[in-house]
Structure 1
Amino acid sequence: ICTPPLAQQLLPQSIATLRRRLPDAPCSLLSQPTREIVRSLLLRESDLGLSLHDPDHADIHCQVIAQGKLQLLAPHGWLQPKQKYISLQDLAGQSMVGLEGHDPLSPALDHKLHALRPAPVVHTRVQTHQMMRSMVEAGEGLAIVDPFTALGARSAGLDACPLAPAVPINLYALTLKNGEPALAIQALLDIVTEQAAAMLSS
């Protein structure tokens, strides 16, 4: 079970790799916000959660398995050719797509964006990073997204680059404390860790 940004590329590819190694291992992939992942783990409905947030829960073991950087998503041609990063100050006054809900990627970043003068203009708020990407594709403005969403968007033709100064973001594996992961779960976790590192270094 994972948060929506991880269900687009990282988990499908990881599960396909697991299937080649363990053809008979049963597997279900669900996408939920972090609080629902925690609930599912506590009820033993799921064995492994993957999130871009640390739930800070006493009964959940939280392990950092990869780290990336938040990315700006923009319509094709908005960034300069070969532009390596975008300064936060360059977002002052820009039209941006906002994120609703309980999973802000970086409260500190939100504070910095609100402090820009003129502040970015947010006319539309959506629920997931995939929806943010779709709104950027529709010409609704710029968006700040996780690196996994940015990777898929870049391959589809959108512009993407990291913010400067960089805003790091962790990928967490969530499991019940004192639980012993099954062989297939440990294998999947190893694969996800490898795949995430490969994606984030590309």
Structure 2
Amino acid sequence: MALYKESEAIFALHAKLENRMRDLRENRAGHLAIVATPPLAYSIIPSALSGFLRRRPETRVFFDVRRYEGIIEGVLSRVAELGFALGLTHHPGIAHEVVHTGEMVCVLPPQHPLADRPMISASDLSGLPFIGLERGTRLGEAVRDSFARAGAPFQPTVEVRYCNTACVLAAAGVGAAVVDPFSPRQNGGSGLVVRPFTPTTQAVAYMLWSEAEPLSRLAKAFLNEIRKESALLERTAPHQQHGAESG
């Protein structure tokens, strides 16, 4: 009996270690750090993270929202194992994979005079209240370039840094905006009309990681979740962009 009492604690520890090993084998435990720019942080990542953590209740995640420069810095410094951003310039030491290739869209309040049109051009927006993206940002410069290609003046009434801010203002009736295809999905795109925008302006989403070390099994598992969400996004994108209202 004395030996049994002494060994009981050992058997309990052995069982705990076995459970821990099983969790590690099945990617259920561990720590994962992620950084993302706002369009992806508020759209594709939350749903992927939900399913990922539901199957791995012991996993702990660090998730931060940063500007593009912060994503590159976070991945290179290994503060985050995975980064997600729209657009990419080559950076030594960073590997990448395309998550989704979409096109910039025009968002308008339902009462907007252009809301009934199936497609909005840069020229259509001339002379109307317009919410522009900040000069010097990757998406801001892409939108300016699209207006230049169309020979249309770029004269924003309000200038903002982030696409989700532009969506909030558009829904409030401030004016139209040209944004990435992810941002209107936040909160179901409530109060927004979403239309294709011409000239076509690509918005490519990337996932990034450091080439200095191999990805952990948890990171690989999360990338698979993102791929699933991307496939779902591909199937629903046409409906979202062409419907009278998103959400």
The answer to whether TM tops 0.5 is yes
* Counterpart code for 2:67: P
Determine whether 1:60 maps to 2:94.
yes
- Please tell me whether Structure 1 or Structure 2 has the larger radius of gyration of its CA atoms: 2
Report what 2:160 is aligned to: 126
Q: Structure 2 vs 1, CA of residues 101 and 175 (structure 1 numbering), >3 Å: closer, same or farther?
A: farther
Determine helix, strand or coil for the equivalent of 1:105.
Answer: helix
Identity value in percent: 24
Choose from 35, 45, 49 the match for 2:83: 49
> Larger relative contact order (C-alpha < 8 A, sep ≥ 6)?
1
Report what 2:70 is aligned to: 36
Partners of 2:122 and 2:192 in 1: CA distance: 19
Determine helix, strand or coil for the equivalent of 1:122.
Answer: coil
Greater share of helix residues, 1 or 2? Answer: 2
CA contact (8 A) 2:135 2:141 kept: no
Determine whether 1:146 maps to 2:146.
no
Q: Structure 2 vs 1, CA of residues 36 and 65 (structure 1 numbering), >3 Å: closer, same or farther?
A: same
Q: Structure 2 vs 1, CA of residues 112 and 194 (structure 1 numbering), >3 Å: closer, same or farther?
A: same
| Residues 1-202 of structure 1 mapped to structure 2, 5 A cutoff | 1-78=35-112, 79-81=114-116, 83-100=117-134, 102-105=136-139, 107-114=141-148, 119-152=153-186, 155-202=189-236
What RMSD over aligned residues (CA atoms) do the two structures have, in Å? 2.2
Determine helix, strand or coil for the equivalent of 2:62.
Answer: coil
Name the TM-score, length of structure 1 as normaliser: 0.88
Q: Structure 2 vs 1, CA of residues 197 and 88 (structure 1 numbering), >3 Å: closer, same or farther?
A: farther
Partners of 1:55 and 1:139 in 2: CA distance: 35
- Residues 106-148 of structure 1, C-alpha deviations (whole Å, 9 max, x = no match): 6354123146566243121112111111111222211111111
CA contact (8 A) 1:94 1:120 kept: no
Aligned residues: 201
Gaps of 5+ in 2: 1-34, 237-247
- Residues 72-108 of structure 1, C-alpha deviations (whole Å, 9 max, x = no match): 0101143444x44222321222221122264322635
Determine helix, strand or coil for the equivalent of 1:174.
Answer: strand
* Counterpart code for 1:147: P
